[in-house]
Chain A
Amino acid sequence: MTRAENKSLLIKGGHLIDPAAKINALMDVLLRDGRVAEIAPPNKIRGVADEKFDARGLIVAPGFIDLHVHLREPGQSYKETIASGTAAAAAGGFTSVCTMPNTAPVVDTAEWVSWLRNPDRGAVVNVFPIAAATRGSKGGTLTDFAAIQHAGAVAVTDDGKPILDDDVMRMALRLGAELNFPVVQHAEDTRLTETCSMHAGPTSFRLGLRAMPAAAESAIVDRDVTLAQQIHESRLHVAHLSTSDALKAVRRGKRAKARVTCEVTPHHFALIDENVGEYDTNFKMNPPLRSATDLEAILAALADGTVDAIATDHAPHAAYEKQVEFERAAFGITGLETALALAITKLHRDQKIPLTRIVELFTAGPARVFDLPHRGSVAKGDFADVTIFDPKKRWTFDAAKSRSLSHNTPFDGWQFTGKVVATIVSGKIVYQAE
């Protein structure tokens, strides 16, 4: 244990929003030895803390959890490292990130899961690996779920690729059910999307780009939800859901009490296919930006509780992988440092979704999806992971100043409302805004 963790930190004067504990009031928060020691109304906490943080006028929330990031290690450290990616996470208010296994090599063994969690990687926030569901993410033979889970992985997925084969998906959900282990699906019927680079609609037709129909996503979600309903106790999590029809399938599963959850990315609630403009590759990702109708449906689902979590799908790429023909450019954008600002600007300011709901989408929601005990809330005894933000602060995002090694973002120069002020992991301040 480091000395910092033995210290105590008193967060004073802030407005605590902790949806899991149903708190939405002015509260002081005392952190000690890496845990939450006490929550009390202003000035009621007695005793001396080693350090104080003045949170007057700010929102204090449980540490944010990102269910979907690509930190590119092992193997692609020119795009991102665990150190740089978690630094970007901290700057974005995330105290925990779940890493995707589509690295080089693919994280498909317990050994690689342990390697990711090793302190030598230099992570400044908690890293929860998600391992491959099939060997090499080739969609054939299942990985050793039990060993992987034992090594500390929180879920399995073949992200970047779907598990297409019905039998393989059925076996994955069955084995997951036995182990209480979620299976995360990147829902894309790749038989319909080969050589495609954006969403199929008027914009793709105008630009002359081969395009992915919305049905390529919803058909897979539909099948998966049906399987999840059939397989008792199985846990299905739909990654980066982007279409109105996929939401319908998720609602169907939830109504039937199947253990089906889903996440939505900030770019899918902030942008649509038209924003691709004249082939701007910083607007190319998979799933692609969808239609205005899909965006409306996503906004409604974020508000009404259908969506469980906001996840960034932070996908860093080197400039040379993006500054090429649109069809050849890598899919994906960075997102850790703009997620909260987009949520406050687009969901709270523009759509009037309450801050309590937005905080839930970053905390209690994702913690439930992967069962992360003592995270996503700051009740006494929980981990001392805290995110402090100013919901009214106006600022301009400068991609060049990003902590990520890569700057492939469509939000460079955007003016936002809402900014992270400090990020605390295990009682230690890992990020503080200037």
Chain B
Amino acid sequence: MNNPTRGSLLGIEHLETKEIQSLLSLARRMNPQKARPLLRGKRIVLLFYESSTRTRTSFEFAAKSLGAMTTLVQSSGSSIEKGESVIDTGYTLRAVGADCIVMRHPSAGAPHLMASHLDIPVINAGDGMHEHPSQALLDAVTILKHKRSLKGLQATIIGDIFHSRVARSACHLLTRFGVKMTLCGPPEFVPDVAATLVPGLRVTRHIEDALRGTDVVMLLRVQKERLAGQKIKLQDYIARYQMTAARLKLAKRDAIVMHPGPIIRGLELTAEVADGPQSVIADEVHNGVPTRMAILARALGKAK
């Protein structure tokens, strides 16, 4: 077991503040249309043990914009299906010449396991319910396009926080820069223990209370099968927590509405909110590519 290779990005929690700052400023300078081939000749493996649309394609475009080669390895149709362990898959990819592994895995901590056994950087593209650091970074980039600075902002996350790696990473990143955070949802989705994640987090069950005066509203996808597992009635959830145009009026007039996707219209938010003027959901997806360019450039030591 070793420390992760320099350039790895396993989570926001243990990332130094100045590293986050430099990633954010690099991301804002990256332009996929006019990128220099900083990573020409580099081989980047996209190792996805779980399905993904946004994260996978944006990492791939990011890598290619910088001149790197990419290959996609998924659990089905690879040796993973035959029972190869995470570490052995890592050794194999290293041996065929991978310079960096971007990894998504349903099990929390899997990228840490990989990173502790390899001498190449490992990028966490989402591990179980733990962290999704590139999403938190692109969300910060998105907020900064609409707000002057993070400090002093109020942000509210509504929905299934318990199962959400996006929420955990967002809490770590935004509170670090002075954002006051509120988590809102039923106890099954937002257990009291959620407030212990970082100092200063507030938990409330009432959406009106959560929205009043907020600058950023972040919604999370609600999975119907999880509602069933938690014995929450779908209609109750919608009645109490769905983001509607009327409820959005409780937030600041210039509040932005975010969602890591995929969105389910009519469940966690109405179509009116999703397509409304305050929605920056498409922006987030758009900012994914430059943010991931910054992450890859840093990983391979080309973050100049």
On A, residues with C-beta under 8 Å from B are 200-202, 205-210, 278-279, 320, 323-328
Contacts and interface: CB of A to CB of B under 8 A. Distances in A.
24 contacts: A202-B197, A205-B162, A206-B168, A206-B196, A206-B197, A207-B108, A208-B128, A208-B129, A208-B168, A209-B129, A210-B129, A278-B14, A278-B112, A323-B113, A323-B117, A324-B85, A324-B86, A324-B113, A325-B107, A325-B109, A326-B108, A326-B109, A327-B109, A327-B128
A222 to B, nearest CB: 23
Contacts of B168: 206, 208
A320 B113 contact: no
Contact of A323 (B87, B105, B129, B191): B87
A202 B197 CA distance: 7
A320 B197 CA distance: 32
Contacts of A205: 162, 191, 193-194, 196-197
Contacts, number: 63
Given A206-B13, A208-B131, A279-B113, A327 B197 contact: no
Q: Top 5 nearest A-B pairs by Cβ distance?
A: A279-B109, A208-B130, A208-B129, A325-B107, A202-B196
A324 B109 CA distance: 10
Given A202-B196, A326-B109, 8 more contacts: A206-B196, A206-B197, A208-B127, A209-B109, A210-B129, A278-B109, A324-B85, A327-B128
A331 to B, nearest CB: 15
A218 to B, nearest CB: 18
Interface of B: 13-14, 85-87, 105, 107-110, 112-113, 117, 127-131, 162, 165, 168, 191, 193-194, 196-197
A327 B13 contact: no
Given A201-B193, A323-B113, A209 B108 contact: yes
B110 A325 contact: yes
Contacts of A328: 107
A408 B85 CA distance: 18
A207 B109 contact: yes
Contacts of B165: 208
B117 to A, nearest CB: 8
B260 to A, nearest CB: 15
A201 B109 CA distance: 17
B173 to A, nearest CB: 14
Given A201-B193, A320-B85, A207 B130 contact: yes
A201 B194 CA distance: 9
A278 B112 CA distance: 8
B107 A326 contact: yes
A266 B110 CA distance: 28
B107 A327 contact: yes
A207, A320, A324, most chain B CB atoms within 10 A: A207
Given A205-B191, A207-B109, A278-B112, A325 B129 contact: no
A196 to B, nearest CB: 12
A322 B157 CA distance: 36
Nearest to B194: A205
A301 B147 CA distance: 56
Contacts of A279: 108-109, 112-113
Contacts of B129: 208-210
Contacts of B191: 205
A327 B108 contact: yes
Nearest to B161: A205
A323 B197 contact: no
A325 B105 contact: yes
B107, B129, B130, most chain A CB atoms within 10 A: B107
B108 A202 contact: no
A279 B105 CA distance: 14
Contacts of B193: 200-202, 205
Contacts of A202: 193, 196-197
A325 B86 contact: yes
A235 to B, nearest CB: 38
